[in-house]
Chain A
Amino acid sequence: MSDERRVVSGTGVTPRAGVGEVVRYDPSADLPDPPAGGVDAGAERERFAAGREAARAELERERDRVAEAIGEEEAAVFDAHVQFVEDPQIESAVHEAIDGGLPAPNAVHEAFADHVERFEGMDGRMAERADDLRDVRDRLVRLLTDGDRVDLSSLPEGAVVVAERLTPSDTAQLDPERVAGFATATGGRTSHAAIFARSLALPAVVGVGDALADVPDGTEVLVDGDAGELVVNPTDEERERAATEDLADIRPDPVSTADGREIEVAANVGRPAEVEPAAERGADGIGLYRTEFLFLDRESPPDEDEQYEAYVEALDAFPDGRVVVRTLDVGGDKQVPYLDLPAEENPFLGERGIRRSLGPDADLFEAQLRALLRAAADGEGDLSVMFPLVATAEELEAALAKVDEVAAALDEKGVAHARPELGVMIETPSAVFVADELAERVDFLSIGTNDLAQYVMAAARENDRVADLHDPLHPGVLRAIRRTVGAGHEGGAWVGMCGEMAGDPDVTELLVGLGLDELSMSAVTVPDVKANVEATNAEAARELADAACAAAARDEVRELLGDPASRRGGQSE
């Protein structure tokens, strides 16, 4: 083993670098030799059935854990694995192999063999099914042989996991606080491991190929998820740079542009488990606290105290910051079992957001406001409350009247409460046109770019045929943002943005130039956006925004912004 420096290349999947010692990981279970005298077929069939049950239970537990830690979308892969475990073709192939004299684990291995090979031979997404099958097969074999798994959740501090491949369950066990990164021989940007790495902000390189086999256990390596390189035995200089760069990423304090304009950089939060990581990644506060998690996936609405506790917890996580809670935003696309939401021809143009809160869900709205006003008094940080999908000043007036009503009732009962900052989400073209009226009545406006782009461009986000139109860089959307910011400031309200656009590091300068006071995004991109704010000159940014708003077409805007790939330093997507 030489300690010479060398570089092996693969595909980088996160804009992060990390240094650590290689821990090789091989999850494949050893198969016992089949007994010479054949097997008791009945007993082996029962053993297989029990192993399958155990696998299903394990998959369901992992599914719930991943849904909580990373997200529903990533957890869905475990549903697919459950179906593979229960596949009738596999079952009959296993039974056949058992009848042919094999013990259950060997029979499982054999039953999967042809299918794995067949999927491996196909291209793209199909090859990923081969990974799924191997994952399911190894899980079954392990459970049938009582084999132990290397526990990836308790690796030594600073470990770099090196493996042929990492399954979704493997990757989900990695603790981003301890692990320095991982490298795999197989996989591409869209593989499960890559998606998980991005969710966990882990340095990772995938698709390194055979060269990975020559990287011995215990070697020091630098995983550069940006350049897509694994540096074996990095120089002291490289090591230091990787370590300090990542540390410098986290800016725990509020940041200003180079010429001194302070911009609040906050995180969007969809469930309580995301609050702490947001603080750790240096968010100044929470710019969008979605409350739907409290209401979805259950049979009855949450009570006031349960909500109160969730809000206080978020406020306590940001003692010097602001937490913007959005009141319940359901209807149309989001179903809630106990609300009996009507089927509508155009759900996105139907009864949703504040329209339901002022109509059929008035009781829920009142309970939520009570919980919020109480939390405003008891939590440490500053609470702001905003109303979704407001289209008219009348709706806002009605919502504000409800706040007054709830406050008076709490007063009467002698319950401690405080008046939070109040604001409106700007998502509809109408709200843009009456932004001045709205701003006069509230403390802040927050632009939801996903829905705003959808309504301004009249293009549904889910519809691939018009996906191209659903881009906030179209001058139509940019001018709506500019108009909102101007009207907000004139009315004395601060103006933020909490859509995906706010978290795109490529457009930070443009957004600063458009005059936004606050940007809120997924916690992962907070450090990048904070760094970009510090590198921006507010005056130059304003000129960029002027030019972008004057552009006739999106391509002109893109040209003004420069080539995204080069601006982002190679990080694509």
Chain B
Amino acid sequence: MTEERTVTVVPEDGLHARPAALFVEEANEHDAEVEVGPADGDLVSAGSMIAVTGLGVRGGDEVRIVADGVDATAALDALEAILTTPEDELEG
């Protein structure tokens, strides 16, 4: 089952150190293949820190997350939560 959604990134510095680490960790925790990328661009593996930080996503950017697998909805929910939480409120 493939699902996708588009999310506006809240942390000001985008997908850098802490939010990116949490994002990648979460992407790897679910039973789904997850890809991420700019709303109108190519997707990369959400489970690779190098790929995710290499996107250069900043706060205010729109990103598309696509998940394929039994856990797709849960994965997207969790990843969306990370992308929409200000950096200083992120846990973990």
Residues of A within 8 A of B (CB): 73, 76-77, 79-80, 82-84, 86-90, 115, 118-119, 122, 125-126, 128-129, 132-133, 333, 335, 462-464
Contact = CB atoms under 8 A, between A and B. Distances in A.
Nearest to A464: B12
Given A88-B45, A122-B56, A76 B21 contact: yes
Contact of A115 (B17, B18, B45, B50): B50
B50 A87 contact: yes
Interface in B29-56: 45, 47-51, 53-54, 56
A116 B51 CA distance: 12
Contact of B89 (A88, A115, A462): A462
Contacts of A89: 45, 48, 50-51
Contacts of A83: 20-21, 24-25, 49
B13 interface: yes
A133 B51 CA distance: 12
Consensus secondary structure, chain A interface: helix
Nearest to B14: A125
A126 B48 contact: no
8 contacts: A79-B25, A80-B18, A89-B45, A118-B54, A126-B56, A129-B16, A133-B50, A335-B91
Contacts of A119: 53-54
Contacts of A87: 48-50
B86 to A, nearest CB: 4
Nearest to A460: B86
User: How many of chain B's residues touch chain A, expressed as a range?
Assistant: 20 to 34
B18 A76 contact: yes
B59 A464 contact: yes
A335 B85 CA distance: 14
A84 B88 contact: no
Nearest to A75: B18
Consensus secondary structure, chain B interface: helix
Contacts, number: 63
Given A125-B13, A126-B56, A462-B86, A79 B50 contact: no
A79 B18 contact: yes
Contacts of A132: 17
A118 B44 CA distance: 16
A119 B12 CA distance: 20
Nearest to B44: A89
Interface of B: 12-13, 16-18, 20-22, 24-25, 45, 47-51, 53-54, 56, 59, 86, 88-89, 91-92
Given A80-B20, A89-B51, A90-B50, A462 B88 contact: yes
A80 B21 contact: yes
Given A88-B45, A88-B47, A129 B18 contact: no
The 6 A-B pairs with the shortest beta carbon distances in the complex, nearest first, are: A83-B49, A79-B21, A76-B18, A80-B21, A462-B86, A80-B17
A132 B59 CA distance: 21
A89 B22 CA distance: 18
Nearest to B16: A125
Contacts of A133: 50
A83 B54 CA distance: 13
Nearest to B45: A88
A90 B49 CA distance: 10
Contacts of B47: 88
A82 B51 contact: no
Nearest to B20: A80
B17 A77 contact: yes
A335 B90 CA distance: 11
B91 A129 contact: no
Given A87-B48, A88-B47, A119-B54, A82 B12 contact: no
Nearest to B47: A88
A125 B92 CA distance: 22
Contacts of A126: 53, 56
A200 B10 CA distance: 30
A90 B51 CA distance: 10
Nearest to A125: B16
Contacts of A90: 50
B18 A84 contact: no
Contact of B21 (A82, A118, A125, A128): A82
Most buried by B among A88, A333, A464: A88
B87 to A, nearest CB: 9
Contacts of A463: 86
A405 to B, nearest CB: 35
Given A80-B49, A87-B48, A129-B53, A333 B89 contact: yes
Contacts of A335: 91
Contacts of B45: 88-89
